[in-house]
Structure 1
Amino acid sequence: MVRSRTLARISAAAFIAVGWTGIAAAAPAAAIFPFEIFDTSGEAPQPDLTERLAMATRVLSEALEKTGRYSPVDLAPFGAEVAATSPRYRCGNCFLPVARQAGAAFAIVPVVHKVSSLISSMDIWILDASSGADVAHLGGQIRGDTAEAYEHGVRFLVRNRLPADDPPDNGAQSK
């Protein structure tokens, strides 16, 4: 009798510990839209620009997932809808319905503003997909118009400019 009670208590404690661990591990879904370029340099586009923007998007997705704070959703099934939102940096949050349709709690919109082949700025906006409220803005200058500069810029912004606190629940006040 005493042995069965002890076994029941141990089983209950193990069940509770496993249950709490599973609940705490879930990161909110995030629709990470492809990087876009806002080019005011007047220079001819480099032939590898499309690949560079795709690489920067992959690096951003991996870096944000690695933080444990966001779980990227697959936007591939929404390719036509994503393309229709371009340019996202001036569409008035037209991408939010796509983020919600993909099941995301957050929409992440990155852009490079190219001023010259030496100077660009990189901005990553994180918005609440339900309300459109700004959650965070990661911004900084990058030097060079190369894959290495883009990758370094993305990693720097996620590592050094992402706010330290967890993303708010949907409907929370913006920062």
Structure 2
Amino acid sequence: MRMLKRILCLFVPFFMAVPAHATTTKAAVFPFGIHDAQQDGEIVPQYNPEDLRRLTVVVEELKALMAKDGKYAVVDLAPHAKEIEAASPFDQCNGCEVPIAKEAGADIAVTGYVDKVSDALLSLRIVARDTKTGELTKTMSAAINGNTDELWLHGVRYLWRNRFNVEAQPK
């Protein structure tokens, strides 16, 4: 009997620490795309390498915010690199990322897009789709007035805090 009490005392705190209703949404976060108005009319657009690097920085920041929140688990899309490359850009395919995300085990597929009018005026858009239905669950955008890492990161953090993860905010 004493042994049973000791075992219970050891394990009960672990069961109490994890709420029974806690669920984690598995998210497939895809590489973001870009449209640079300065490249309109070019047969082969020459995107600014800094802008392409910033796209990666923004995606990695969104993944970090999702993982830190604990409500989301970001799935690894590396095994689907060829499919992702063939399907992109995702802003033009009307949900073609959904089957890839579903195959990767995700509940939602997250894509993004930067529309660069000039170095002073950009727009960041993030979209999430349910992998079971393909329906849009979230769509949001933010204006970015400048072309620096800090401003792009401010844009993705703003969207995370005020649009994407708004349900988690206390009321």
Same fold (TM over 0.5): yes
User: Hey, what does 2:5 align to over in structure 1?
Assistant: 7
Aligned residues: 163
Q: Which residue pairs with 2:167 in the alignment?
A: 165
Please tell me whether residue 147 in structure 1 is matched to residue 145 in structure 2: no
Structure 1 CA distance, aligned partners of 2:74 and 2:89?
21
**Equivalent position to 1:119, from 97, 118, 121:** 121
Name which of 60, 79, 84 aligns with 2:62: 60
Matched-pair contact (CA < 8 Å) for 1:35–1:57: yes
Aligned residue type for 1:61:
K
Counterpart of 2:43 in structure 1 is none
Distance 2:13 2:149 in 1: 47
TM-score between the two structures when normalised by the length of structure 1: 0.80
CA distance in 2, matches of 1:97, 1:27: 20
1:27 paired to 2:24: yes
- The alignment status of 1:85 with 2:87, answered yes or no, reads yes
Identity between Structure 1 and Structure 2 (%)? 33
1:129 to 128, 131, 134: 131
Query: Structure 2 stretches of 5 or more lacking a match?
Result: 41-45
Alpha carbons 1:41, 1:117 under 8 Å: kept? no
Moved more, 155-164 or 17-26: 17-26
* Unaligned 5+ runs, structure 1: 167-175
- CA gap of 1:16–1:148, structure 2 versus 1, over 3 A, is closer
Asked whether the equivalents of residues 56 and 150 of structure 1 are also in contact (C-alpha less than 8 Å), the reply is yes
Where 1:165 maps in the other structure, the secondary structure is: helix
CA distance change for structure 1 residues 113 and 14 in 2, over 3 Å: closer, same or farther?
same
Q: TM-score, normalised by structure 2?
A: 0.82
- Structure 1 CA distance for aligned equivalents of residues 118 and 110 of structure 2: 25
